[in-house]
Amino acid sequence: MQQFEWVHAAWLAIAIVLEIIANVFLKFSDGFRRKIYGILSLAAVLGAFSALSQAVKGIDLSVAYALWGGFGIAATIAAGWVLFGQRLNNKGWAGVILLVAGMVLIKLA
Q: Give the separation between CA 99 and CA 109, rounded to whole angstroms.
A: 15
Q: Give the separation between CA 81 and CA 88, rounded to whole angstroms.
A: 9
pLDDT tens-digit readout, 33-72: 999 999 999 999 999 999 999 999 999 998 899 889 989 9
Q: Give the separation between CA 52 and CA 61, rounded to whole angstroms.
A: 9
Domains of the chain: which residue ranges? 6-108
Q: What is the pLDDT of residue 1?
A: 54
Q: How confident is the model at residue 5 (pLDDT cuts 50, 70, 90)?
A: confident
Task: State the distance between the two ends of the chain, measured CA to CA, in whole angstroms.
Answer: 10
Q: Are 92 and 80 in contact (CB under 8 A)?
A: no
